[in-house]
Amino acid sequence: MSSTPSILPDQRLGLADLQRLIRDMYMTKDVARGIDGTFMWLMQEIGELATALRSGSTEELAHEFADVLAWLATIANVSGVDLEAAVRSKYGSGCPGCGQSPCACADSEKP
pLDDT per residue over 3-29, tens digit each?
Answer: 555 676 778 889 999 999 999 999 999
pLDDT per residue over 42-90, tens digit each?
Answer: 999 999 999 999 999 999 999 999 999 999 999 999 999 999 999 999 9
> How far is residue 32's CA from residue 38's CA, in Å, rounded to a whole number?
10
- Residue 96 inside a domain? The answer is no
Residues 6+ apart with CB under 8 A from 104: 95, 98
Number of structural domains the chain divides into: 1
Query: 73 burial class (0-12, 13-18, 19+ CB within 10 angstroms)?
Result: buried
Q: Is-contact 75 35, C-beta < 8 A?
A: yes
Q: Give the structural domain span for 36.
A: 15-80
- Residue 30 inside a domain? The answer is yes
Say which CATH number the domain at 46 has. Answer: 1.10.287.1080
- Residue 3 inside a domain? The answer is no
- Residue 37 inside a domain? The answer is yes
- Residue 85 inside a domain? The answer is no
3-state DSSP helix/strand/coil % of the chain, to nearest 5: 65, 0, 35
